[in-house]
Structure 1
Amino acid sequence: MLFPWTATEVADLPTTGTRVDTLTDLSAAPGGPGARLSKGREEAAAFRREFPGTGTPDDVVTCDLVTLPYPTRFGLFRASRAIAPFLSITNRMLVIRWRDSDGRRRVLLFEPSDVEFGRYTPYFDDLVQRTPGFVTRVMLTEHGTVLGHLARLGITPEQVDYILFDHLHTQDLRRWIGTTAYQNDLHGQPAATFPNAKVIVQRDELAGMADLHPLQKPWYQPDTYRDVPAEAFLPIEGSVVLGPGVAVIKTPGHVFGNQSLVLNTSTGIWVSSENVIAAEALTPEHSRLPGLAKWAGAWQQEVVLNANTIETTADQYNSVILEKTLADRSQADSRFLQFFPSSELTGAWTNPGTRPTFSHGHITHHC
C-alpha cells in the first residue's frame, strides 16, 4: 500500500470550510462537454456576484521560490510557434492571512513547494539526468525557501493552519507534515515542520493517487506518501469558502482532483492555479507570443491550456473558462485578467519566443 488510506477510506477523513452550493462538479454534470461548459459559465457568474460578500482577507503576500525549465509544448499546448523547446516558469508561494468570525487568526500557504525534494518527480528527475550540469545551472534559479519567506514575514511554523496546492504533482510533503516511519532518503523520521497545519485536497485526487493511472505516473511521487499521517489531510468535495474572501473551487481536468484558489482583494477577484501558465493564455487574442493569437483564432479556442497531462482535456478547458469568468480585469492592463498562475511564464534569454506579453509577478493586498 502506497498511502495511509485506500480510495474508499478517503471518505472517512475530516473536512473543512463552508460548501459553495453555487458551484457544482462540472465533470459530473449531465450532458456533453459543451453543455457542461455553458453550465460552468452560468455558475461562475453567479458565484462571482456572491463571493465579494464574504469579505476580504487581512493580507496576501507573494513569495518567489524557484524558476525552472518546462517544455514549451506542455506549457503552451499546441499554440506556440517558438523555436525554443523549453520555456521558464516561476513557482511562487502565496501567504494568505485572515480572521475567522470568532476572531481567530488563520494562515494559509498556497503552493509551499519543497523545491529540494520536488526535483525527484520522475519527469524532472529524468530531465535532469539527461541535461548537462552547466545548462541546468543556467536555467534553474532558486529565489528563496518556504521557511525563509515565513521568517521574513514574522510567521512561525506553528502559526500555519492550512497548506494548499492546486494539485499534488511534484509535491513531497514529508518534511512539512512529518512521517510515521523512518525515511531512508531523509536519514531519519522527520517531525512535522508545520505541526498544526492541515493539507486541503480534493477527495478525488487522494482517491486517484491511491492507484495511479499511467498518464499520471511521471508527475507524482507516490512513494513519498507511504508514511505520511492521514490525519494531516482535510479532504474537500467540490468548492468551499475557507474565510473572508478566501475560497477553494474545484477545477477538474489538469488532474481529476484539481482545485483553484480564489481571493477577493482590494483590486477585486483573483484566481490562481496551474491550469494555464500565463495571464495571456486566458485572452490569447492579445498575446504577442509567437503563434498564440493565430492558433486560438484558427481553432476557435478561448484559452491556451497548460497540458503536461491530458487527463480530461475538455474538463480542463471548461475549468479554465470558469476561472476566466470569475477573475476581474487587471488594473495594470485591462486586456488581461487577474489570473495568477501558480507557475508563471517567465522570460529568459535562453528561451527565445517565450517572453510573456504581460505578467503579474506578484499579488499585493493589505487591509
Structure 2
Amino acid sequence: MVLRWTAEDLSDLSSVGNGIDVLERECTGGPGDRLRAARSAGADFRREFAATGMPQRIDTCDLVTLPYPTRFGLFRASRAIAPFLSITNRMLVIRWTDVDGRQRVLLFEPSDVGLGRNTPYFAELARRTPAPIIKRMVIEHGSVLGHLAGLGIAPADVDYLVFDHLHTQDLRHWVGTTAYQPDLGEQPTAVFPNAKVIVQRDELIGMSDLHPLQTPWYQPQTYRDIPVEVFAPIDGSVLLGPGIAVIKTPGHVFGNQSLVLNTSTGIWVSSENVIAAECLTPEHSTLPGLTRWSSSWQQEVVLNANTIETTADQYNSVVLEKTIADRSQTDSRFLQFFPSSELTPMWTNPGTRPTFSHHAITHQS
C-alpha cells in the first residue's frame, strides 16, 4: 500500500455535479447487449445534453509533443514502418457561470509535463534514447501556468482539475502535499489552492493496489502525501454546468472518464481512448492499414491500447463517445472527437500522418 488514504477516507468526501441517469442504466446482458446498450444510452444522452446550454468560453492550450509507440496508439491496425508516432498533449480551459451566478473555471488535462517524465514507461524510454534524439522528438509548447496567465486566469480562480485518467500524472505541485518531498527538495504548496480534482472513485481506489499491466503508467508514490480532501470523487457520469459533463468511459483504465462539451459547433467529446478523430471512422482514414484492418476484422473503431485493462469495455466506451459527438463542420466524414493526446505529423515517423486533425476546440458564447 503506497497511499495513506483508503476507500473509507474517500467515502467521506463530497462529490460534484448532478448524476446523469440515462448513462447509469445497468445492463446485465452479454457482451453484445452491453455494446448495444452503450450505443442506445449515448443517443439518449445526446438528445438531453444539447438542451443543457453552453459554457461561456473554451480555450485550447498546447503543452507538449512527444513520441509514443505506434503499436499502442493505433493498436493492431497500423501498417506504418515507424515504430513511434507523435502525439500532442493539450489542455482545455472551460469557463461558465453557475446557476447561483458564480464564475467557474475547469482545466481538462493540465499535465505537469516536467514531473510526468518520471512515469516508469517514459523514464525507461528516455534512459535508452540518446539525448539529441529526445531533443528532436520532444517539443514543449507552453506550460499550464503560462497559458493561464495569457488567458488572464489566476491560479486561485481555478475550481476544477480533470483528467481522463491519471496515467503519468503527478499532482503534487498543483494541489500541494502534507509532507516534505525528498525527490522535489521541498514541500509543495498548492498552485491551485481552491481546485478540486474530479476523478472516478474506482480509479483512486485502484491506485492503492495496481495490477502489473498498470504499473508502467502510474506514479502512485507521488499521491502518498496529497491531502485526500483535494479530491472530488464521482461514481459514474455527472453534469457539471451548462453544456459541460464528465462521463464514465471505462476500459483504457478501470476509472476512465471523458469530457463532453456543447458548443456553437455542436457536441464535442474528449479523452485519450483514441488518438485521432479518424480512429472513430477508420473507413475514411488514409493511415496505412486502418481502413483495411477495420473492414477485415469488422471493428468500427481503433483503440489507443497502451494498457488493455478491459478491452471490450474500452471499445464500448469509444462507441458511446462516437454516438454522442457531432459531425465535424470542417469535414463531415469525421466526428467532433478531440483526442486529449492527438496524433501529430512528424518527419521522423513515416506512415503516421493523420488524415484529419482538430488541433483545438474554440468556443465563445
Do the structures match in fold with TM over 0.5? yes
Q: How far does the alpha carbon of each residue in 1:220-244 deviate from its partner, in whole angstroms, 9 at most, with x for none?
A: 0011000001000000000000000
Q: How far does the alpha carbon of each residue in 1:260-292 deviate from its partner, in whole angstroms, 9 at most, with x for none?
A: 000000000000000000000000000000000
Runs of 4+ in structure 1 deviating by more than 4 angstroms, as ranges, are none
Which residue of structure 1 lines up, in the alignment, with residue 16 of structure 2? 16
User: Residue 37 of structure 1: SS of its match in structure 2?
Assistant: helix
Return the match for 2:244 from 243, 246, 261: 246
Which residue of structure 1 lines up, in the alignment, with residue 144 of structure 2? 146
Identity value in percent: 75
Please state how far the C-alpha of 1:7 moved relative to its aligned partner.
3.0
Question: Is 1:137 aligned to 2:131, yes or no?
Answer: no
Question: Is 1:157 aligned to 2:155, yes or no?
Answer: yes
Q: Structure 2 CA distance, aligned partners of 1:354 and 1:24?
A: 37
User: Residue 31 of structure 1: SS of its match in structure 2?
Assistant: coil
Q: Structure 2 CA distance, aligned partners of 1:301 and 1:224?
A: 38
Return the match for 1:124 from 116, 122, 125: 122
Q: Which amino acid aligns with 1:311?
A: E
Please state how far the C-alpha of 1:32 moved relative to its aligned partner.
1.9
Question: Is 1:73 aligned to 2:77, yes or no?
Answer: no
Trace 1:211-360 onto structure 2 (pairs within 5 A): 211-360=209-358
Please state how far the C-alpha of 1:29 moved relative to its aligned partner.
3.0
Which residue of structure 2 lines up, in the alignment, with residue 110 of structure 1? 108
Q: Structure 1 CA distance, aligned partners of 2:28 and 2:43?
A: 19
Question: What is the Cα-based RMSD across aligned positions, in Å?
Answer: 0.8
Q: Which amino acid aligns with 1:289?
A: L
Q: How far does the alpha carbon of each residue in 1:183-239 deviate from its partner, in whole angstroms, 9 at most, with x for none?
A: 011111010000000000000101111111111000000110000010000000000
**TM-score normalised by length of structure 2:** 0.99
**TM-score normalised by length of structure 1:** 0.98
Q: Structure 2 CA distance, aligned partners of 1:258 and 1:12?
A: 22
Return the match for 2:49 from 31, 48, 51: 51
Which residue of structure 2 lines up, in the alignment, with residue 2 of structure 1? 2
User: Residue 202 of structure 2: SS of its match in structure 1?
Assistant: helix
CA contact (8 A) 1:7 1:210 kept: no
CA contact (8 A) 1:8 1:207 kept: no
User: Residue 216 of structure 2: SS of its match in structure 1?
Assistant: helix
Please state how far the C-alpha of 1:33 moved relative to its aligned partner.
1.8
CA contact (8 A) 2:119 2:168 kept: yes
Q: Structure 1 CA distance, aligned partners of 2:151 and 2:10?
A: 34
Please state how far the C-alpha of 1:52 moved relative to its aligned partner.
1.1
Q: Structure 2 CA distance, aligned partners of 1:220 and 1:32?
A: 31
CA contact (8 A) 1:179 1:189 kept: yes
Q: Structure 1 CA distance, aligned partners of 2:237 and 2:30?
A: 22
Q: Which amino acid aligns with 2:312?
A: A
Q: Which amino acid aligns with 2:154?
A: T
Q: Structure 2 CA distance, aligned partners of 1:34 and 1:110?
A: 32
User: Residue 333 of structure 1: SS of its match in structure 2?
Assistant: coil
Q: How far does the alpha carbon of each residue in 1:74-130 deviate from its partner, in whole angstroms, 9 at most, with x for none?
A: 000000000000000000000000000111000000000000000100000000000
Which residue of structure 2 lines up, in the alignment, with residue 88 of structure 1? 86
Q: How far does the alpha carbon of each residue in 1:19-50 deviate from its partner, in whole angstroms, 9 at most, with x for none?
A: 0001027xx63122211000011111000000
Q: Can you give the 5+ residue segments of structure 2 that lack an aligned partner in the other structure?
A: none
Please state how far the C-alpha of 1:259 moved relative to its aligned partner.
0.1
Q: Structure 1 CA distance, aligned partners of 2:66 and 2:330?
A: 26
CA contact (8 A) 2:73 2:275 kept: yes
Return the match for 2:97 from 96, 99, 107: 99
Q: Structure 2 CA distance, aligned partners of 1:148 and 1:61?
A: 14
User: Residue 185 of structure 1: SS of its match in structure 2?
Assistant: coil
CA contact (8 A) 2:9 2:228 kept: no
CA contact (8 A) 1:15 1:235 kept: yes
User: Residue 213 of structure 1: SS of its match in structure 2?
Assistant: coil
Aligned residues: 365
User: Residue 329 of structure 1: SS of its match in structure 2?
Assistant: coil
Q: Which amino acid aligns with 2:70?
A: T
Name whichever of 16-25 and 305-314 sits farther off: 16-25
Q: Which amino acid aligns with 2:364?
A: H
Please state how far the C-alpha of 1:255 moved relative to its aligned partner.
0.2
Q: Can you give the 5+ residue segments of structure 1 that lack an aligned partner in the other structure?
A: none
Please state how far the C-alpha of 1:13 moved relative to its aligned partner.
1.9
